[in-house]
Amino acid sequence: MTLESGAQPALASQGIEEQNHIAVRRLIHEVWNCGELRVADEIFTAGCVPHTLNHDAADIGDRRGPKHIKLIVAAWRAAFPDWRIEIESLLAEGDRVALLSTGYGTHKGRLMGIAPTGRHVSFTGMRLFRMEQGKIAEYWVLWDWQGLWQQLGVLPPVFSANGAVRPLNGTAKPRSPLSIVRDLMGVRPVSVRDSRREVVFHG
């Protein structure tokens, strides 16, 4: 059987996309769900750049490559020992992979200054990965932090139409969830401090 003109590049592209698909699945199943941190060295480039709300490439400092994701996963799994992520949708095209996922776990350890609550939570997020030779070279994340804080009892479940928290007495000036989290925890809501350093959640 002979391949039609243009078929070989198309097949090659499918092969690359499948490799990219596998790398992201390994991130979820092996690194996040099983805690196999060493796998991060196999699926991230040494200079992998993370991007997330309030933190971008200009201020990430040394938070690059597999080392950072290992710190994130270790800190998160310490707070949620039974943490498990389910893939809702995973799409690969060219050098990009898009992931929609939801994680589930029980809050049994300190998280960003919050003492264990024993509450079972779900945490939904979206990620876009840029791949190089089957490895994650750059990624963007967006998480439902507001939903997580509500489940943990950090934020009251009373919001106005624009997302600001409504004062219960109806007199004080409405405050954003971000300002309340900062006041309650004394840290930025995308950060966690362990005994050694701050870990910024670009996971």
Per-residue pLDDT reduced to its tens digit, 129-167: 999 999 999 999 999 998 999 999 988 765 444 444 444
- Show the beta-strand stretches assigned E in 33-149: 44-51, 84-93, 96-106, 120-132, 135-143
Question: CB-side exposure of 119: number of CA atoms within 13 Å?
Answer: 15
State the pLDDT confidence band at 15, using cuts at 50, 70 and 90: confident
The predicted pLDDT at position 179 comes to 52
Q: What is the pTM of this model?
A: 0.72
Q: Residue 76: which of 50, 106, 119, 49 has the closest Cα?
A: 106
C-alpha distances in Å from residue 82, one per residue of 75, 99, 149 = 13, 21, 19
Residue 130 class from Cβ within 10 Å (0-12 exposed, 13-18 middle, 19+ buried)? middle
Q: How does pLDDT run across 41-69, given as a tens digit for each residue?
A: 999 999 999 887 655 554 555 678 999 89
Query: For domain 10-144, which architecture applies?
Result: Roll (3.10)
Read off the DSSP letter of residue 24.
H
Please state, in angstroms and rounded to a whole number, the distance separating the CA atoms of residues 131 and 133: 7
